[in-house]
Structure 1
C-alpha cells in the first residue's frame, strides 16, 4: 500500500498541475506593456525617488514605449499611461475599466484604521456632486473678499517687516489658515496650529519609504495623522452639538454643510466619515496649492518681463477700486494675463504629479493587455514638457494659453474627466488673489538664483525659495 501512495498523490496533483500550466500559458499569451518590475520587493521605488517623476517617465517612454509602460512601485504592478491619448483613455474609463485607488501607505497615514482596507468610495461616503456644488464658481464667489482680506493680513504680519522671506513655508501657512477658515470657520491661531503642525508631518512623510520605525518620516506621518484625526473629531463633535442645540438647517461653512447633508444611502455621515472628507480637502488645498503659489512667485522673481506684465494688469485693477475695497469676482475675471502666467507655471512645475487608478477588469490599450488588479498612473510629465505638444517646452510663455490654448488632454494639472479635481476653481482664485496682493506691494528677487527643486508630494524648493522684497517706490 505504501508503494502506491506516490502514484495516488501524482494522480491527485495532476489536475492541479494542468490548471497551473494552462493558466501560465493563458497569462503568457497576453502581451503585457513593456518595462521592468525592478528589484524584488523594492520594485523601482529607488529609481523613481532618485530620478524624480519627470526623468523617470521620460526615460521609460524613450526606452520602452511612448504610449504605456509597466513598472513596480509601492509594491504594486503598475502601468504608466503616457501622452494625450493615454490621458484621454484613463479620464474616460472611470468606473468602466478603472476605479480610484490610493497607496496603502497613504491611507495608513491619513485615514482611521477602520477605513484603511476600504475602497475610496466607502471612505468618502459623500456624493461627488456635493463637492462640485460647493466648489463651483457660483458658490466660491462669496469667498473672494475673505481670501483677499486674509491675504492682506498675512502679508502685513509675515512679509512687510522683512527684507527676505521664504516663500514656500509662508505659502503653506497662508493656504492652511485659509482652508481652516473657509472649511471649518477656525480663527484661533492655537487651534489652527494644533492641526497644522501634525498635518505637516503627514504631508512630509506619506509618500516616503513606508517603513514604520521610530525616527522615519513615515512613522512621523502616521503619528501626525492620528493627531490630526483626534483634533478633527473634537471639532466635528462640538459642531454637531452646536447645530443640534441651535436647530440649524443651513451650514455656515463646509463642515456644517457636511453635517447636514445625507450620503448616498440617505443617512447622515458619521464624524469619522466627515473627518476623512475634510482631510482629503485639506490635502488637496494645502500641499498642491502652496506649491502652485510658490512656483508662480518663483517665475515672477526670475522673469522681469513677465512680472512687469502681471504688475500692470494687477495695478489697473487696484487703481479702479478704493484702498479698502476688497476683490470681487469681476476683478478676478480681469486677471487674464496673470492667469495665463499662472497656468504656464502649472505646466512647467505642476504641483500634482498625476493620479492612481485600479483596473477592475482586463482591458487592452495600444495593443497591450492591462490585467485586472493592476494599478495605473497618469502623469502630467508625459505631456507638459513634451515638444510634441508644446514647442520649445522649457520656455516660459504665457501666450500658449491665449485663444483656444493647448490641445485637449495635454495640459492636465487638475486631471480630467469625471474625476477632474473639484477644487480647480478654488485653486485658481487662491493663486490669483495671492498674486494680486504680492505684486501690488513688492518686486521680487531670488536670494539663491540656482536653488534646486526636489520632489516630495509636490515639487519643493530645497531652501524654501528665499526672495528679497523690494517695495514699490523705494
Structure 2
C-alpha cells in the first residue's frame, strides 16, 4: 500500500472517498459508453495498422512481447505509432481522454523513458537506497510528475486563452470544474496523481487479458470455432474495409463472455488493499479503524458455491450476469470502486480479438505454464506459430 502512495500519489481515486472523491466523476464521464462510441473507429484503425506492421508476414511471434504495453500510454499520448514492443491496442485516441500531447523528439523520448523506469521499479523490493531499482523508480516518478505539471499548465493556458472545450479531454475537464464561487475544485496535485494513475492502470491489464484469450483459443478448438463464427458473421454483415462500430461490438456477446471467463480464472489484478474507515466486525473478527484489508480475487472467483466447477472454463456462466452474486466477480472491482475504464477495456479487447481471429490462425510453441510478476506472465512470452488468412 505504501509503495502505491509513493508512486500513484495520495490524491489518486483509489485512496479517496466521500467528498474527496471528486476526480472519479471526471474519469467516469470520459469513460462512459456515450463518450466512447466515437472512438471505436479510431481503435479499429490503430489495431489494423499495428497488426499489418508487426504481425502480418511473420511466421512466429511472442504474443506477450507484442501485447506488452511497456510504453503504451507514452506512445498514445505522443501521437506516434506503436513500436515493436507496444501493445496492439495502444490507441492514439486515448490521448483525447487524458489531454496530453507530447511532440515527437527529445521531449517524448524523455517521457517514455521516465515512465518505463517508474513502472519497472513499482513492484521491486521497497528499499529506498541509492542505486536500487525502487529508488530509481521513485526518482523517475518525480520526473514524470514534473512533466505532467508542465502539460497541465499548457492545458490551463489553452483553456483560458483559446477557449478550449471543457469536454475535449480529461485534464481540461478537471481544470474546468469550479464551485459556486468560481474557484477551481480539483487541485493540480489531484490532477497529476490521477493522470499517472490512468497511465499505470492501463499499462498491462488489457494486454494480459488478450494474451491469455489467445492462449485459451489455441487450446480450446470448440471455443475458438464459436468465437470465429461470431466474428465472421460480423465481417459478412459489413461492406469490405468498413470500420467496426458500437453496434458491431454489441453483437460480440459470446466473445465477451469468453473474455469474462478468462478474467475470472486469470484476473490480471490478483487483489488489492482497502482501509477500514471505522471499526467493523466480519466473520467474528474485529477489524480496527485504519487497518488495511487485502481482498483477493480467487477467494470468490474460484469458490465452487458461487461458480460450480470453478476450474472448468465455461463462458456460459456469464450469459446472465445478474445471476452472479454482487461483489463475487471482481475483475473490475465493484460498487462505487468499480473500474472507470471497464467499458474501454471491453472495447479494446473485442476490437483486437476481432482482427486477430479473422486474419490469423495460430498454435502454441511452448507449454501452458505461467508465473505472476505480479500479473500473469506466460512461459517464454507465449510464442505462437502464426498463419495469415488474409491481408489487411
Please tell me the TM-score bracket, short chain as reference: 0.7 to 0.9
Q: Name the SS for the 2:387 alignment partner.
A: strand
Equivalent of 2:366 in 445, 448, 464: 448
Q: CA deviation at 1:309?
A: 1.3
Give per-residue Cα distances to partners, 1:167-200, cap 9 Å, x unaligned.
2232222345544464236485656554344323
Aligned partner of 1:104 in structure 2 is: 2
Q: Please state if 1:206 is matched with 2:104.
A: no
Q: Name the SS for the 1:286 alignment partner.
A: coil
Quick check: 1:124–1:277 contact (8 Å CA) kept in 2? Answer: no
Equivalent of 1:321 in 235, 238, 244: 238
Q: Please state if 1:163 is matched with 2:59.
A: yes
Aligned partner of 1:400 in structure 2 is: 317
In structure 2, do the counterparts of structure 1 residues 407 and 147 end up closer, same or farther at CA, with 3 Å as the change threshold?
same
Aligned partner of 1:216 in structure 2 is: 132
Equivalent of 1:145 in 30, 35, 41: 41
Equivalent of 1:256 in 151, 168, 172: 172
Describe how 1:425-436 pairs up with structure 2 within 5 A: 425-436=343-354
Q: Name the SS for the 2:294 alignment partner.
A: strand
In structure 2, do the counterparts of structure 1 residues 263 and 269 end up closer, same or farther at CA, with 3 Å as the change threshold?
farther
In structure 2, do the counterparts of structure 1 residues 144 and 472 end up closer, same or farther at CA, with 3 Å as the change threshold?
same
Give per-residue Cα distances to partners, 1:419-444, cap 9 Å, x unaligned.
11121111111111111121121112
Task: Note the residue ranges of structure 1 that are not aligned, 5 or more in a row.
Answer: 1-102
RMSD over aligned CA atoms reads 2.8
Q: Please state if 1:241 is matched with 2:164.
A: no
Q: CA deviation at 1:369?
A: 0.9
Which 10-residue stretch deviates more, 175-184 or 405-414?
A: 175-184
Quick check: 1:123–1:276 contact (8 Å CA) kept in 2? Answer: no
Quick check: 2:23–2:194 contact (8 Å CA) kept in 1? Answer: no
Which 10-residue stretch deviates more, 214-223 or 322-331?
A: 214-223
Q: CA deviation at 1:239?
A: 2.4
CA distance in 2, matches of 1:189, 1:436: 31
Describe how 1:265-304 pairs up with structure 2 within 5 A: 266-304=183-221
Equivalent of 2:99 in 169, 181, 184: 184
Which 10-residue stretch deviates more, 172-181 or 298-307?
A: 172-181
Q: Please state if 1:369 is matched with 2:286.
A: yes
CA distance in 1, matches of 2:3, 2:349: 30
Runs of 4+ in 1 over 4 A off after TM superposition: 121-125, 175-178, 187-193, 263-266
Larger Rg, first or second structure (1 or 2): 1
Aligned partner of 2:72 in structure 1 is: none
CA distance in 2, matches of 1:220, 1:444: 39
CA distance in 1, matches of 2:361, 2:227: 11
Q: Name the SS for the 2:123 alignment partner.
A: coil
CA distance in 2, matches of 1:318, 1:438: 13
Q: Please state if 1:418 is matched with 2:336.
A: yes
CA distance in 2, matches of 1:310, 1:290: 19
Give per-residue Cα distances to partners, 1:74-99, cap 9 Å, x unaligned.
xxxxxxxxxxxxxxxxxxxxxxxxxx
Which 10-residue stretch deviates more, 345-354 or 401-410?
A: 401-410
CA distance in 1, matches of 2:118, 2:179: 27
In structure 2, do the counterparts of structure 1 residues 204 and 462 end up closer, same or farther at CA, with 3 Å as the change threshold?
farther
Equivalent of 1:470 in 359, 384, 387: 387
Give per-residue Cα distances to partners, 1:43-93, cap 9 Å, x unaligned.
xxxxxxxxxxxxxxxxxxxxxxxxxxxxxxxxxxxxxxxxxxxxxxxxxxx
Q: CA deviation at 1:348?
A: 0.9
Q: CA deviation at 1:338?
A: 0.3
Structure of greater relative contact order (alpha carbons < 8 Å, 6+ residues apart): 1
State the TM-score, normalizing by the size of structure 1. Answer: 0.71
Which 10-residue stretch deviates more, 264-273 or 235-244?
A: 264-273
CA distance in 1, matches of 2:271, 2:377: 16
Quick check: 2:61–2:386 contact (8 Å CA) kept in 1? Answer: yes
In structure 2, do the counterparts of structure 1 residues 382 and 371 end up closer, same or farther at CA, with 3 Å as the change threshold?
same
Equivalent of 1:226 in 123, 130, 142: 142
Quick check: 1:124–1:276 contact (8 Å CA) kept in 2? Answer: no
CA distance in 2, matches of 1:320, 1:139: 25
In structure 2, do the counterparts of structure 1 residues 399 and 352 end up closer, same or farther at CA, with 3 Å as the change threshold?
same
